[in-house]
Structure 1
């Protein structure tokens, strides 16, 4: 079985240790605030947006880069296809002031994500899959065009490059460094 990438291991370890997520994941019918929240496929079909905790947000004007990975495909006990890239988005910026709980909604000025949202779809006989969102501060030289170029992506990221995603290589190619925060849910 593949090992979780180093950044993912660190993020999961931090979430387990503190119980505090740096991100909220917003779907129309559910907001994931607590790490490991279990939900159903139907609730996670529309593309989510994320909010960043004001305790980890950088001062304005900061751009952020986010990714979502499925860590358990096709089965948690036999995850040879993992991780699978489920979404990649650049140029995220804070939208206004923090809400009452200290969350700042993020949105992108790009017309589309680097890799569009691929909704969770674990097989019916599978135990729950973990879907982790991670966020990094985006350097000024990392515009969407440059990200696509460094990763060898065209305008659209189809299914072929998503399974067995090499997260460590991706982070190295993009010069990402340590992630600022994360959160995950299970389906």
Structure 2
């Protein structure tokens, strides 16, 4: 089963310049995901990360522009048999810049009240202990779309439950919310 077009486009990109990534993901453990395919160990990814976007990625440069971040496991339950993939591991709306953006370091943002809390990577330890790819996608939210409207349009109640997070329809979400193209994205490869 191949990933949807949005995920396939991200996965097919070659690694960008690691000194100036479009999307930098930083975990409290000190782990930084600065290039597609960065290897990570499960213990380093247990706490919610922060996100930094490079200025060149920002479409509107309008003060108050908001962004939506999604994290997905595209190899669940195993890379050789991804029957549940993609699995939603994080959905956060209303990301705004809180520091002056630069072309080198990016604009650090703060996220409040996630629609689904960070679900730490947990590659299988049973029949397949192969590393899993976890994809991070960022979209600019339409001006009048807020987190509560995203929750309503996607039918998310509370944390959403495990079954609502499996086989997460990326293309359907893009259509329902009117998101347009991904402004930044990357992925990490997590092992136990």
* TM-score, normalization by structure 1: 0.91
Cα distance per residue 1:129-151 (max 9 Å; x no partner): 11110111111221111101110
Q: Does the aligned pair in 2 maintain the 1:38–1:185 contact within 8 Å?
A: yes
Is residue 27 of structure 2 the alignment partner of residue 24 of structure 1?
A: no
Between the two proteins, the alignment pairs up a number of residues equal to 183
Q: Secondary structure at the match of 1:153?
A: coil
Question: Map of 1:65-144 to 2, 5 A cutoff?
Answer: 65-98=68-101, 101-108=104-111, 110=112, 112-124=113-125, 125-144=128-147
Q: Secondary structure at the match of 2:115?
A: coil
Q: Distance in 1 between matches of 2:52 and 2:156?
A: 26
Q: Distance in 1 between matches of 2:71 and 2:22?
A: 14
Cα distance per residue 1:14-41 (max 9 Å; x no partner): 3x27466421111012111121111110
Q: Secondary structure at the match of 1:113?
A: coil
Q: Distance in 1 between matches of 2:103 and 2:86?
A: 35
* TM-score, normalization by structure 2: 0.89
Using the TM superposition, give the Cα deviation of residue 100 of structure 1 relative to its aligned residue in structure 2, in angstroms.
Answer: 8.2
Q: Does the aligned pair in 1 maintain the 2:65–2:143 contact within 8 Å?
A: no
Structure 1 segments unaligned to the other structure (5+ residues):
none
Cα distance per residue 1:86-105 (max 9 Å; x no partner): 10110000111136833211
Using the TM superposition, give the Cα deviation of residue 48 of structure 1 relative to its aligned residue in structure 2, in angstroms.
Answer: 0.8
Cα distance per residue 1:86-125 (max 9 Å; x no partner): 10110000111136833211112x3x10111111001124
Q: Does the aligned pair in 2 maintain the 1:76–1:126 contact within 8 Å?
A: no
Q: Distance in 1 between matches of 2:106 and 2:168?
A: 29
Q: Does the aligned pair in 2 maintain the 1:11–1:181 contact within 8 Å?
A: no
Which is further off, 82-91 or 165-174? 165-174
Q: Distance in 2 between matches of 1:100 and 1:175?
A: 27
Q: Distance in 2 between matches of 1:113 and 1:173?
A: 19
